[in-house]
Amino acid sequence: MPLSNQQLADIFNDIADRLDIQGELVFKVRAYRTVAENILNAPRPIADLWREGVLEQVPGVGKEIAAKIDELMRTGRLEFYERLRREVPDGVAAMLRVPNVGPKRVKEFWEKLGITSIDELEAAARAGKLRDLPRMGEKAEQKILAGIESMKRRATGRVRLGDALPIARRIVAALRQVPGVHKAEYAGSLRRGKETIGDVDIIVAASDPEPVMQTFLAQPGIAEVLAAGETKSSARLENGLQVDVRVVEPRVWGTALQYFTGSQLHNIKVRELAQKKGLTLNEYAVSKLGGKDSADGGETFEDEPTLYARLGMAYIPPELREDRGEVEKALELGPGRVVMPDLIALSDLRGDLQMHTTWSDGATDVMSMARAAIALGYEYILITDHTAGLGVVNGLTPERIAEQRKEIDRVNAQLRKEGVRFRVLQGAEVEVRGDGSLDLPDEVLSQLDLVQASVHTALTQPREKITARAIKAMQNPHVHILGHPSGRLLNEREGADYDWEALFRAALEYRVALEINADPSRLDLNDVLARRAAELGCKLSISTDAHAPDGLNNMILGVLVARRAWVTPDSVINAWPLTKLLKWANKTRA
DNA sequence: GCCGTTTTCGGCCCGACTGTTTTCAGTCG
């Protein structure tokens, strides 16, 4: 049974945690963490690379780790890991997740006080037993208790992109109003468009940090101030989201924004690169290596492109900064250029290809959705109400599809009369049944402009079965798009266990587009899978799955996923003009 | 444990904040 990339990454992260607690060399620990990250970034299943004997192609995989992966793949076990788990018990490792508790403290708690679980840690802190340890005191105890408390409140440590974005925008807008503020932006994983956000990093350019901090700490919704320094403050909001604000001088905006945007792996790579050029880079400046260390001595940068250029690199859009090959590409292109200059943007999209109306479980009628889409500047939309096979909703039957066509015709006629250049297309989100058949007959499907097929049920079918099922659905010549392919729900439910390589090859062969669903809870396909699909030549669609007019505004979330997937407009079918889209839809399949 | 158009050994990104400290270790990002 081959392990998934996620499973492998989890194991290596766990190894890193336990070695860290044992006091192992930090660089060895980092090697395991880095390899875990690189495995999650890998476009292909590590199991495939293992079969081909090319494991060491994965960055960070050397002889030792390759041997460990091999043992895991062959036997499903890893003796080294089993031993480590015996040496450092699960409860001890779990303590690392408590905020303000790191490997050194876990080791102390465990070895000196015999604490082997978070519950025991909490009891010891309450009893005042931690304060006798070196560099620990009453305040440290309180912080640990607060950390355990906040951990209990939150089911997961990460907040969905779609939830964090509006909050960050609101705070940034407030900080921009503060007198003396030149610029304010959110940075970090949010600026990179990552699907979930650990915390919100906001960076502000202002010569006087004090009023900025005051305004920030007075924001509504702050539950707890975690740190309040001169130039850096942190707070936890009532919904559990942590927000960090950092104030810098305007002349260092470029280096600071780059630094706080990350990712960590990207920054490490850029800084190693700087070192090779005899330079050192921090959030304030680029300086000569070994020279006098201070912001005054170095060169400062007011924007990111000049900074990247100084390091001999092309500019790298934030969404690509994950150490997934972008640094190498930027070096190859050189200063003054841009990595992936034609990366897809929100403005490239001409339509939205998945939305629901009152014909099934949507909130409004066809015209309301059309008007909202027109206001967004689109040229077309595809109405994709659910079919009757998904029992829970007022699904479409062949008869109701015919009725809905009349309404769509009326809407198009009305818009034409108003002189609006816009087209409402009729589609459907057809159910893929457990055996891969569809719940509408072909003669009905053939009357629709575009057909989306989605798997909603039996997502836990074994890999072979569910893969064959989706492929069978795609083989239907009337199917154009596979909707939210994995079926995952962020922070709630894992997606189906597909053989993605097989699925993508089938999509390519049967010329079916794969959706990047922009619903805040889905973002499905994810960035890594979408990148692999696009790399293989698959077509994609980016759609909101809106159930009300406001839902159409979620498109940016799907675009961010697509940008992280290195996607360009030519492979996104709803970035095409209507005529091209319809021509593609009418393809005859051999 | 990984990695190498300066090295197969000796490096490995960089700094803010906090709390417990008379100079810094631990944690975090």
Tokens of A342: 């034609």
Q: Cα Rg for chain A, rounded, in angstroms?
A: 26
CA-closest candidate to residue A401, choices A455, A351, A453, A446: A446
pLDDT band (50, 70, 90) for residue A154: low
Question: In chain A, which residues from 51 to 80 place their CB closer than 7 Å to nucleic acid strand B?
Answer: 56, 59-66
Would strands A181-186 and A196-197 be described as parallel, antiparallel, or unpaired? Answer: unpaired
Question: What's the CATH number where A101 sits?
Answer: 1.10.150.110
The CA distance from A242 to A233, in Å, is 11
CA-closest candidate to residue A541, choices A314, A382, A403, A416: A382
The answer on A85 and A61 residing in a single domain is yes
The pLDDT assigned to A230 comes to 84
SS3 A569: helix
Q: A403 or A198, which is more confident? A: A403
- Asked if strand B comes closer than 7 Å to A136 Cβ, the answer is yes
pLDDT band (50, 70, 90) for residue A409: very high
Instruction: Provide the phi-psi class of A546: left if phi over 0, else alpha when psi is between -120 and 50, else beta.
Output: beta
Residue keyed to tokens 């304030």 = A284
Domain span at A61 = 5-154
pLDDT band (50, 70, 90) for residue A393: low
Residues A222, A292 contacting (CB under 8 angstroms): no
A293-328 per-position pLDDT tens digit: 444 468 999 899 999 999 999 999 999 999 999 999
pLDDT band (50, 70, 90) for residue A274: confident
Closest nucleotide to A65's CA, by C1' atom? B1
Question: What's the CATH number where A478 sits?
Answer: 3.20.20.140
The CA distance from A396 to A386, in Å, is 6
SS3 A410: helix
- Is the pLDDT assigned to residue A369 strictly greater than 70? yes
The answer on A303 and A357 residing in a single domain is no
- Is the pLDDT assigned to residue A445 strictly greater than 90? yes
Task: State how far Cα A87 lies from the chain centre.
Answer: 34
Share above pLDDT 90 across residues of chain A, in percent, rounded to a whole number: 78
pLDDT band (50, 70, 90) for residue A392: low
Name the packing angle between helices A500-509 and A527-535 (round to 10°).
Answer: 40
The CA distance from A155 to A158, in Å, is 9
The answer on A149 and A180 residing in a single domain is no
For residue A5, what are the contacts with CB-CB under 8 A and spacing of at least 6? Answer: A39, A40, A42, A45, A46
Instruction: Name residue A161's amino acid.
Output: L
Q: Residue A9 forms beta bridges with which residues?
A: none
The answer on A179 and A123 residing in a single domain is no
Alpha helices in A359-497 (DSSP H): 366-375, 398-417, 442-445, 463-475
Question: In chain A, which residues from 176 to 235 place their CB closer than 7 Å to nucleic acid strand B?
Answer: 188, 198-199, 201, 227-232
The answer on A370 and A519 residing in a single domain is yes
pLDDT band (50, 70, 90) for residue A93: very high
Backbone angles phi, psi at A182, to 5 degrees: -80, -50
- Asked if strand B comes closer than 7 Å to A100 Cβ, the answer is yes
How many CB atoms are located within 10 Å of the residue A590 CB?
5
The answer on A352 and A325 residing in a single domain is no
Question: What's the CATH number where A229 sits?
Answer: 3.30.460.10
Residue that terminates a domain, selected from A295, A325, A341: A341
Least-confidence region, from A3-7, A128-132, A233-237, A292-296: A292-296
- Asked if strand B comes closer than 7 Å to A84 Cβ, the answer is no
The pLDDT assigned to A241 comes to 87
- Asked if strand B comes closer than 7 Å to A101 Cβ, the answer is yes
Residues A95, A120 contacting (CB under 8 angstroms): no
Cis peptide before A525 (omega within 30 of 0): yes
**A582 burial class (0-12, 13-18, 19+ CB within 10 angstroms)?**
middle
A226-239 per-position pLDDT tens digit: 888 888 899 988 88
Backbone angles phi, psi at A310, to 5 degrees: -60, -30
Q: Residue A234 forms beta bridges with which residues?
A: A227, A244
- Asked if strand B comes closer than 7 Å to A137 Cβ, the answer is yes
CA of A556 to C1' of B17 (A): 35
- Is the pLDDT assigned to residue A64 strictly greater than 60? yes
The pLDDT assigned to A207 comes to 86
CA of A264 to C1' of B29 (A): 8
The answer on A96 and A22 residing in a single domain is yes
Residues A188, A199 contacting (CB under 8 angstroms): yes
The pLDDT assigned to A294 comes to 44
Q: Residue A225 forms beta bridges with which residues?
A: A235
The answer on A428 and A509 residing in a single domain is yes
Q: A469 or A395, which is more confident? A: A469
A15-29 per-position pLDDT tens digit: 999 999 999 999 999
- Is the pLDDT assigned to residue A455 strictly greater than 50? yes
The pLDDT assigned to A180 comes to 92
Instruction: Provide the phi-psi class of A450: left if phi over 0, else alpha when psi is between -120 and 50, else beta.
Output: beta
Question: In chain A, which residues from 419 to 478 place their CB closer than 7 Å to nucleic acid strand B?
Answer: none
- Asked if strand B comes closer than 7 Å to A577 Cβ, the answer is no
- Asked if strand B comes closer than 7 Å to A29 Cβ, the answer is no
SS3 A251: helix
- Is the pLDDT assigned to residue A156 strictly greater than 90? no
Backbone angles phi, psi at A315, to 5 degrees: -70, 140
CA of A66 to C1' of B9 (A): 22
- Is the pLDDT assigned to residue A433 strictly greater than 70? yes
Q: Residue A430 forms beta bridges with which residues?
A: A453
Would strands A380-383 and A351-352 be described as parallel, antiparallel, or unpaired? Answer: parallel
For the segment A76-98, the average pLDDT, to the nearest whole number, is 95
CA of A10 to C1' of B26 (A): 25
The CA distance from A346 to A560, in Å, is 9
When divided into structural domains, chain A yields a total of 4
Residue that terminates a domain, selected from A192, A224, A248: A248
Nucleotides of B under 7 A from a protein CB: 1-3, 6, 11-21, 25-29
The answer on A263 and A181 residing in a single domain is no
pLDDT, mean over chain A: 92
Task: State how far Cα A112 lies from the chain centre.
Answer: 40
- Asked if strand B comes closer than 7 Å to A280 Cβ, the answer is yes
How many CB atoms are located within 10 Å of the residue A100 CB?
12
The answer on A183 and A145 residing in a single domain is no
Tokens of A476: 């239907």
Question: What's the CATH number where A335 sits?
Answer: 3.30.210.10
The answer on A521 and A496 residing in a single domain is yes
The CA distance from A476 to A401, in Å, is 19
Top-confidence range, A148-152, A195-199, A472-476: A472-476
CA of A97 to C1' of B29 (A): 15
The pLDDT assigned to A287 comes to 87
How many CB atoms are located within 10 Å of the residue A42 CB?
21
CA of A553 to C1' of B29 (A): 31
From residue A39, give the alpha-carbon distance in Å to each of A49, A252, A459.
11, 34, 24
Closest nucleotide to A189's CA, by C1' atom? B29
The answer on A377 and A466 residing in a single domain is yes
Q: Whole-prediction pTM value?
A: 0.89
From residue A435, give the alpha-carbon distance in Å to each of A242, A470, A475.
45, 9, 13
- Asked if strand B comes closer than 7 Å to A384 Cβ, the answer is no
Residue that terminates a domain, selected from A91, A124, A154: A154
- Asked if strand B comes closer than 7 Å to A327 Cβ, the answer is no
A332-359 per-position pLDDT tens digit: 999 999 999 999 999 999 999 999 999 9
- Asked if strand B comes closer than 7 Å to A102 Cβ, the answer is yes
A526-562 per-position pLDDT tens digit: 999 999 999 999 999 999 999 999 999 999 999 999 9
Task: State how far Cα A172 lies from the chain centre.
Answer: 21
- Is the pLDDT assigned to residue A430 strictly greater than 80? yes
